[in-house]
Amino acid sequence: GEEIIGVPGIGFVEGMCCGCAYIGQKIGCYEDLGMQEGVHYIGYDGSLEDLKAKISYYQQPEHQDELERIANAGYEFANTHFRGEAVAKELLQKLVKIQKRRSENK
């Protein structure tokens, strides 16, 4: 789940990389990472009632294909975007952009 400050705990990446369908609060931080609710993860509103409803929904045999699609898409997303090389590359690109902006403002 999410940390008390509202950001996802690192465990969400580990679960997705193991092929689990991740259930996370619809708080925007997952979209900020490029993930889409209903595609890469299962979103819920943060209440215990909605969490239980989502779990119950995806436990039903008729929703297993949908659950598997979400788990597979989450796995692919996590393996593409959260691997060490991908994270390092993105960080370096952002640092280069910051450096260029600072050089242009001098």
Alpha carbon distance, N-terminus to C-terminus of the chain: 43
Q: What is the pTM of this model?
A: 0.79
Q: According to the model, what pLDDT value does residue 64 have?
A: 97
Q: Mean pLDDT of successive 10-residue segments in the chain (106 residues)?
A: 70 90 88 93 93 97 98 95 87 91 85
Q: According to the model, what pLDDT value does residue 96 have?
A: 93
DSSP state of 18: T
Instruction: Report the largest interatomic distance among the alpha carbons of the chain, rounded to a whole angstrom.
Output: 62
